[in-house]
Structure 1
Amino acid sequence: MSIGRPEILFPLFASLTGLEGVGPKTAELLGKMNITRPRDLLFTLPTSGTDRRLRPTIQGLTFPQTVTVEVEVGLHQPPARRGPYRVFVRDSATEFQLVFFHPRGDWLAKTLPEAARRVVSGRVEVFDGIAQMSHPDHILLPSEADSLPQYEPVYPLTAGLGLRAMTKAVRAALDRAPMLAEWADASLLAARNWPGWRAALEAAHNPTGIADLAANSPARARLAYDELLSHQVTLAIARARARRKKGRASLGTGVLGAKVMAGLPYQPTGAQTRVTAEILADMAAEMRMSRLLQGDVGAGKTLVALLAMLAAVESGGQAALMAPTEILARQHLASLHELAAPAGLNITLLTGRDKGAERADKLADIASGAAQIVIGTHALFQAEVNFADLRLAVVDEQHRFGVKQRLELGQKGQAVDMLVMTATPIPRTLAMSQYGDMDLSLLDEKPAGRKPIETVLVSMGRIEQVVERLRAAIVAGRQAYWVCPLVDESEHMALTAAENRFAALRAQLGEGAVGLVHGQLPPVDKDAAVADFVAGRSRVLVATTVIEVGVNVPSASIMVIEHAEHFGLAQLHQLRGRIGRGAEASTCLLLYEAPLGEAARARLEIMRETEDGFRIADEDMRLRGAGDVLGTAQSGLPHFRIADLETQAELMAAARKDAQLLLERDPQLETPRGQAVRALLYLMDRDAAIRLMSVG
């Protein structure tokens, strides 16, 4: 079967300057809006509309507003000195003025001859009790009135590009839109009363009222679905290809795993047991594993990851765990040493801090296979790191790494299985769009015996009371985190810096009682501060968000977050997850500067209401938007022109289901509907998906 964009789509991918009315300058302006081809214009929909219905008179209307009315042209009044040019006109009931600044007199005389009848459309305002329409948008002969749309679409624009030029360009692109075979499922179209693709385009660009501009209008929903379907088909093809990739069966004996399980002082949750079985089954298969393990704070991902790594070791290979920060890597080392002690494993930590002979020894152990599990930061995928037989790569907090880094780690072995972990709950819509090419395992249970965390909102004005409460807690043997948003004083935001808060708390609570950790400290000082806190030598750890992930001190039962209104919901949830890990009842104090803005108040109230990370993630996306939730730089989120991940989660789910069903029935897209979907993929710039399919 020939591979390549079908000829019927060629006109949509040609140069913009081939469109009537689009010259090089207009094309350059459109390029600033990421519109470089006619197909981009098709998917740039109106953002609002203007009511241009013909009215008998302006009398009785509330101004300012846009009005279209037929008038008889009266007296012309040229400007006296610097004033405007005025033309007096009369509709069926009243007189008003058309006002022009710096006009050409000959053009006005020709366009608005006295005693002639014209249809004018524009914004009417009242000045000094007189109704005026300044520079009408349209001046037409009565016989031309039908050419004016009753509801005129308003498009996004850029400096130098007017609505008239944009509208003309869109119309020219619409004229090129071909009739294409239907790719949407017939039953779905009928159930949702959606038009065909070509009809949907026409309707979306010719709204008849405000209802047609809504995302859930039939035409717009249909076009959004097309985008989501092409995206989901692309992910499903990539996923099918990944599954066909030859892997290596890592079939563990279960001996080491059994020793670890026997040494546990608790019973694993049902979710941990289920997810471990999913991962081990993937590893035992002949196809390469690509799985996302998503679990809320404290759901027990470390045990699951260890059992997977043990299977790799039992089958004669090695496993690597890559963490985004050294603090988190060291925390993983401590946790795994404790959990894996009964199995007697050789676990090695490799970070950028390792130098000289110590580094050489570690590299030799990794290369010989003596290091069975290797934990590290970015240092793991450097050129000189060679594994004897890397079978499983575990990547923690995936959103902090680029996709390229993940792949580089996977290339350190032959057909390496990949397990990606995140403690940041991702709304299901985003998981489907960002990780749709991976299998998803969900840890949705907390270990038994975990006490709920009481979350309290406290005004910064009561900070002295908070310090006194902290003093009493320290006397009672408790430990606390105090999180500040900045390391240094900012000129732009009057936030208390960690350095200053550390000094103030030491003065109030005693020198030895308070430690400090932030990203700019030398690694040795950072380690010492965390070690003092873990050992109980310091009772309060003042920190920046460097402790968001990784620090695990069960005896710490108080979390103070200063200027909590400046943190995102996911960050607040992660920070709160540092406490509530021991037997003590725990408290999280969210200190805020009054008065709170509406969005900030909503975030803090949600924190007070729930500890459910997935509900928090959904609310975070609703309040901040999809890109911000994951961090736009490496979010990997697809760019959609019409579809909206925040509001159209249900459409995304329907598209995902449809794509999976389609490819199960027609994996090579060879049926009539499959051929139509191929055209959709080319239309949506998803050529790569078809190339993937062709190379199998």
Structure 2
Amino acid sequence: MRPEALFRYFADIESLPGIGKRNRQALEKLAGPRLMDLLFHLPTGLIDRRYRPKISEAAPGSIATLEVTVTDHRPAPSKRAPYRVHARDETGEITLVFFHARADWLQKQLPEGEVRLISGKVEHYQNQVQMTHPDYMVAPDAVDELPLLEVVYPLSAGLSGKILRKAISVALATVPELPEWHDRGVVDRDDWPSFLEALKAVHHPDGADVMAPAHPARRRLAADELLATQLALAIVRDHTRRKRGRILKGDGHLRAKIREHLPYQLTGDQERTLHEIIADLESDKAMLRLVQGDVGSGKTVVALLAMAAAVEAGVQCALLSPTEILAKQHLASITPFAEAAGMRVALLTGRTKGKARSALLEAVAAGEIDILVGTHAIIQGDVEFKDLGLAIIDEQHRFGVQQRLALAGKAKVGIDALGMTATPIPRTLTLTIYGDMDVSQIREKPPGRKPVDTRVVALDRLADVAAGIGRAVNAGARAYWVCPLVEESEQLDLAAAEERYASLKQLLGPKVGLVHGKMKGPEKDTVMAAFQKGETSVLVSTTVIEVGVDVPEATIMVIEHAERFGLAQLHQLRGRVGRGSDKSSCILLRANEIGEVARARLKVMRDTEDGFLIAEEDLRLRGGGEILGTKQSGLPEFKLVDFAEHADLIELARDDARLIVMRDPKLESDRGEALRHLLYLFERDEGVRLMQSG
């Protein structure tokens, strides 16, 4: 049960005065439906209105608050001209400029002959002082309505800063103080305010320094969010480890057969990672390991050898993929080697239906399948294994803790879990998101992988690029053309892809295929198969090909509007080429005008192919929240942490969480009780549920 002290934090935003159906919708879209969502919507800037000069002293370009007497109104002579109001003080005159303003409203706000406090940006135009659309215009007796320090928040359409500020202020005044969940020594040493005081300081700052990530109030809030996450992960880890009760030790005969059939030697990194996995399997503790391997570093063969070791020890394995394309890809790449070693492999996806599904489930339950490859379909209730011992989760960041636990629930006794990701993640984020896992890295590229020649080209040269693709295709090349990402609109993503498909088809005829997320599975398969076989030479797509598409013959990748993609995504897309023995290239088409961050991002792509280096740069340029696309994955979204600035707090939280679980595993002490509040507040309460389930 959620502690009573949190009821107000979880109250609906409509319980605030002045919030009705209309502005509730805008507030919910911006921050969320509850008071705590508003309180976690942190300001990004501060306007200081304390500068109170006389008109003649007001510096051009400054934000100033002036006390003036309104002298006269000059209504707009035409629709396109502005309405002007003249005002003065003892040192000079100022013109207040308004576009598309209502005359009756302005006369009411600024009556002639009256004194008003006005605040806004001072400009000098043709030797005259002016202010366009002042932010505030108040009578001297209503000075409280003019904030001297005004916080600036990210806003969305249909919502004014004034309404948001008022809602947050009222929310802050109505939520209670919560028990202290941090170690008292740390709070005193770092001079942290309490949780509620920290929120108040950030939303009602007394100076610009409070906005900085290094301020004690900001560090306190970041530490709260990090501790909630780390504690939930530590509880999950403890729970998984305690369930474990067997050693998986194989004799090596299946692994030897697979190695005989491999056309290459494993790299040093692959051997070391495999050694770490085998040591985990052979220990009496549950394995919880993450393998991070850059695009094309050879994670799949390591996973196959790990599964062979588990099958040698007499158990079954499950390989879980986030998409059907990826699941089929894994099936195709591991089946020849698995079958050569005498292992039985099968595929289960949402499309496995009817009699075929029933027969497959019977075979899995009878232990006739050694390795079951599939999508979320594997987690469904009616899927039963005879003896599941090893679960491998590919693209681990696409699955949440809940899904990991559901898979673990398929095991009769404890289970060994191995996560894999081709999205290299900076060390600080790895600790935050996978604090419950041991981590292995495969950084070396297998021999024979050629570097991809990456170029950045402006969009006004689109026709030249298309013509170049035409020449390459006529000479036998195959190419991907990825269409621009349109934020939060699959419809527009699709429109962009269809438009590019039509124009390339005009140029190249039937050699062009189109694949996108709205297509049904069989349609996608048909298009992909045609591209794999070389029946089509150019595959136009949205980002559905980001992960897991493997066509070694494809040597060209064009990414349109590359500036709209994150670095990790660009790196994933580029990884679709350079998989064969031929020279490959990647063309990043960018808008003619782009910002500094986008320019820096594209430069990183041009300069390096090291995914781990790219991930660190991505963190530096973007901050942690967006890096992994938390919205489309099972990851917690971070609202209060600045990963570049709060990196030291991550290890602090991780160590503290492990110590808490060791000393007070059921959170029964006074501090434990406070920590339950923390877990519920940040919605990491799967930790509480696990403790209660034993």
Q: 1:145 to 1:405 in 2, by over 3 A?
A: closer
| Farther-moved stretch of structure 1 (442-451 vs 522-531) | 522-531
Q: 1:445 is matched with which residue? A: 444
- The 8 Å contact of residues 51 and 66 in structure 1, kept in 2 or not, is answered as yes
- The 8 Å contact of residues 116 and 137 in structure 2, kept in 1 or not, is answered as no
Q: 1:186 to 1:451 in 2, by over 3 A?
A: farther
Q: 1:139 is matched with which residue? A: 139
1:277, CA displacement in angstroms? 3.5
Q: 1:447 to 1:157 in 2, by over 3 A?
A: closer
1:677, CA displacement in angstroms? 3.6
- The 8 Å contact of residues 51 and 65 in structure 2, kept in 1 or not, is answered as yes
Structure 2 unmatched ranges of 5 or more? 485-490
- The 8 Å contact of residues 110 and 116 in structure 2, kept in 1 or not, is answered as no
Q: 1:15 to 1:258 in 2, by over 3 A?
A: closer
Summarize the alignment of residues 557-636 of structure 1 with structure 2, pairs less than 5 Å apart: 558-561=555-558, 563=560, 565=562, 569-581=567-579, 584=581, 586-590=583-587, 592=589, 595=592, 597-598=594-595, 601-620=599-618, 629-636=627-634
Q: 1:511 is matched with which residue? A: none
Code of the aligned partner of 1:344? G
1:351, CA displacement in angstroms? 5.5
Deviation string 1:546-594 (CA, Å, 9 cap, x unpaired) is 655445566x483342637376544443344344445x46332416367
| Alignment TM-score, normalising by the size of structure 1 | 0.76
| Farther-moved stretch of structure 1 (236-245 vs 376-385) | 376-385
Q: 1:430 to 1:40 in 2, by over 3 A?
A: same
- The 8 Å contact of residues 70 and 116 in structure 2, kept in 1 or not, is answered as no
1:612, CA displacement in angstroms? 0.9
- Over the matched positions of the two proteins, sequence identity in percent amounts to 43
Deviation string 1:322-352 (CA, Å, 9 cap, x unpaired) is 3455554444334324434552223334566
1:631, CA displacement in angstroms? 3.9
Q: 1:272 is matched with which residue? A: 270
1:692, CA displacement in angstroms? 3.5
- The 8 Å contact of residues 515 and 529 in structure 1, kept in 2 or not, is answered as no
Aligned counterparts of 1:430 and 1:248: Cα–Cα separation in 2:
31
Aligned counterparts of 2:199 and 2:134: Cα–Cα separation in 1:
33
Q: 1:498 to 1:388 in 2, by over 3 A?
A: farther
Code of the aligned partner of 1:590? I
Q: Tell me, what secondary structure is at the counterpart of 1:236?
A: helix
Q: 1:567 to 1:670 in 2, by over 3 A?
A: closer
Q: Tell me, what secondary structure is at the counterpart of 1:484?
A: strand
1:482, CA displacement in angstroms? 0.5
Q: Tell me, what secondary structure is at the counterpart of 1:611?
A: coil
Summarize the alignment of residues 109-120 of structure 1 with structure 2, pairs less than 5 Å apart: 120=117
- The 8 Å contact of residues 531 and 537 in structure 2, kept in 1 or not, is answered as no
Q: 1:102 is matched with which residue? A: 104
Aligned counterparts of 1:320 and 1:617: Cα–Cα separation in 2:
29
Q: 1:495 to 1:564 in 2, by over 3 A?
A: farther
1:48 pairs, out of 45, 48, 52, with: 45
Code of the aligned partner of 1:658? D
1:122 pairs, out of 119, 122, 146, with: 119
Q: 1:61 is matched with which residue? A: 58
Aligned counterparts of 1:151 and 1:393: Cα–Cα separation in 2:
54
| Farther-moved stretch of structure 1 (683-692 vs 538-547) | 538-547
Aligned counterparts of 1:63 and 1:192: Cα–Cα separation in 2:
41
Structure 1 unmatched ranges of 5 or more? 475-479, 508-513
Q: 1:510 is matched with which residue? A: none
Aligned counterparts of 2:505 and 2:84: Cα–Cα separation in 1:
69
Code of the aligned partner of 1:455? T
Summarize the alignment of residues 536-555 of structure 1 with structure 2, pairs less than 5 Å apart: 542=539, 544=541, 548-552=546-550
Aligned counterparts of 2:193 and 2:289: Cα–Cα separation in 1:
38
Which is higher, the Rg of structure 1 or of structure 2?
Answer: 1
- The 8 Å contact of residues 96 and 130 in structure 1, kept in 2 or not, is answered as yes
Q: 1:262 to 1:665 in 2, by over 3 A?
A: farther
1:659 pairs, out of 657, 660, 663, with: 657
Q: 1:494 to 1:682 in 2, by over 3 A?
A: closer
- The 8 Å contact of residues 433 and 637 in structure 1, kept in 2 or not, is answered as no
- The 8 Å contact of residues 327 and 551 in structure 1, kept in 2 or not, is answered as yes
Q: Does 1:332 align with 2:330?
A: yes
Q: 1:469 to 1:251 in 2, by over 3 A?
A: same
Q: 1:426 is matched with which residue? A: 425
- The 8 Å contact of residues 631 and 637 in structure 2, kept in 1 or not, is answered as no
Q: 2:298 is matched with which residue? A: 300
Aligned counterparts of 2:154 and 2:531: Cα–Cα separation in 1:
52
1:218, CA displacement in angstroms? 3.1
Aligned counterparts of 2:224 and 2:355: Cα–Cα separation in 1:
58
Aligned counterparts of 2:108 and 2:453: Cα–Cα separation in 1:
77
Aligned counterparts of 1:334 and 1:12: Cα–Cα separation in 2:
50
- The 8 Å contact of residues 319 and 394 in structure 2, kept in 1 or not, is answered as yes
- The 8 Å contact of residues 202 and 217 in structure 2, kept in 1 or not, is answered as yes
Code of the aligned partner of 1:452? P
1:610, CA displacement in angstroms? 1.0
Q: 1:192 to 1:587 in 2, by over 3 A?
A: farther
Q: 1:317 is matched with which residue? A: 315
- The 8 Å contact of residues 275 and 441 in structure 1, kept in 2 or not, is answered as yes
Code of the aligned partner of 1:102? D
Q: Does 1:90 align with 2:72?
A: no
Aligned residues: 665
Q: 1:571 to 1:6 in 2, by over 3 A?
A: closer
Q: 1:477 is matched with which residue? A: none
Summarize the alignment of residues 61-80 of structure 1 with structure 2, pairs less than 5 Å apart: 61-62=58-59, 66-69=63-66
| Farther-moved stretch of structure 1 (398-407 vs 607-616) | 398-407
Q: 2:488 is matched with which residue? A: none
Deviation string 1:346-389 (CA, Å, 9 cap, x unpaired) is 33345667788876765554343233223345554567755433
2:395 pairs, out of 394, 397, 422, with: 397
Q: 1:462 to 1:320 in 2, by over 3 A?
A: closer
1:409, CA displacement in angstroms? 5.0
- The 8 Å contact of residues 456 and 587 in structure 1, kept in 2 or not, is answered as no
